[in-house]
Amino acid sequence: MACFVVPAVEAVVVSAVDKCMRKKEIATSTSETSVSENLAVVPFRQKIKWLTRMLWGGCVLLAFEHLWHGEIVPWFPFLTAMSDPGETTEMLREMATVGVTMAALITVVWLVMCKVADVIAKRPAPNDLQNPVN
Amino acid sequence: MTLLITLFAAIITTVLWYNRKDDSMRLGVLCFLFWGASIMWFVDAIFEYAELKAEYFTPALSDMINDTYLGLSVVALALIIWLVRLLIADPKGSVRAALKREKG
């Protein structure tokens, strides 16, 4: 009904965090940024971008599905379930169950991705394994 | 069906991304689009399965056709989003070069 709204809210929050981080990065000196980026294997801002893209991508495609099924309309209140109190309750219940699980699973997948990316980035490149430096 | 089509699109895009020569095609954006949607539809499928049980795997033919049509439309929409982003970012400078050629 409107399950994609929950990940969409998360996408807005994460995008805002990303914007704040970018502003901070510009404000601080470049030398400071390079030192902090060297400490982390994959920069955190890069990882935040992955989450933002996954959330926005999923939300846009799911919003299209809802439009397809007539659950979203281009006029107020935009969600057809909002016009009937009974359906509104059902919509809120779906948002609390399906929507929250969607947002949580995307975040869990992202956290696993971050961990795996750090491990892969720390690993020596395949060329280094074939021709080890003596 | 929509989940399956999106999932296959995600897998194919990820393989293409892994075999890329450089990042000029920005395939990463397309990967995240498809994977994000696949994860969300996977959750939707779990909840639907919990409600319908075995009936979930035997949908009516009309529902299947509708879902297939929706899945293909979703893939087309994702490809359009990616293409527009690629043309605006213009990492290879092809659009800029074509515009300059037309101007000159």
Q: Name, in order, each residue with C-beta under 8 angstroms of A126's C-beta and a sequence gap of 6 or more.
A: none
* Contact between chains at A55 and B36 (C-beta distance less than 8 A): yes
CB atoms within 10 A of CB B98: 11
In a domain, A17, yes or no: yes
Q: Do A61 and B78 touch (CB under 8 A)?
A: yes
| Tens digit of each residue's pLDDT (9 = 90 or more) over A10-44 | 999 999 999 998 888 888 755 555 555 555 588 88
Q: In chain A, which residues touch B (CB < 8 A)?
A: 3-4, 7, 50, 53-62, 64-65, 68, 97-98, 101-102, 105-106, 109
With beta carbons less than 8 A apart as the criterion, state whether B81 and B33 touch: yes
The pLDDT of residue A83 is: 81
Domain count, chain A: 1
Q: What is the pLDDT of residue B61?
A: 92
In chain A, which residues have their Cβ closer than 8 Å to the Cβ of B47? 97-98, 101
How much is the ipTM here? 0.89
Least confident of A84-88, B6-10, B58-62: A84-88
Would you say residue A45 lies in a domain? yes
Using DSSP's 3-state secondary structure scheme, residue A72 falls into strand
Domain count, chain B: 1
Evaluate whether B2 touches B41 at the Cβ level (below 8 Å): yes
Cis peptide before A77 (omega within 30 of 0): yes
The whole domain housing A22 covers 5-120
- pLDDT value, residue A134: 46
Quickly count: other Cβ atoms within 10 Å of residue B40's Cβ: 30
Note the pLDDT of residue A34: 53
Is A30 among the domain residues?
yes
Domain ranges, residue B81: 2-103
* Domain assignment present for A96: yes
pLDDT of residue A87: 84
Residue A16 lies in a domain: yes
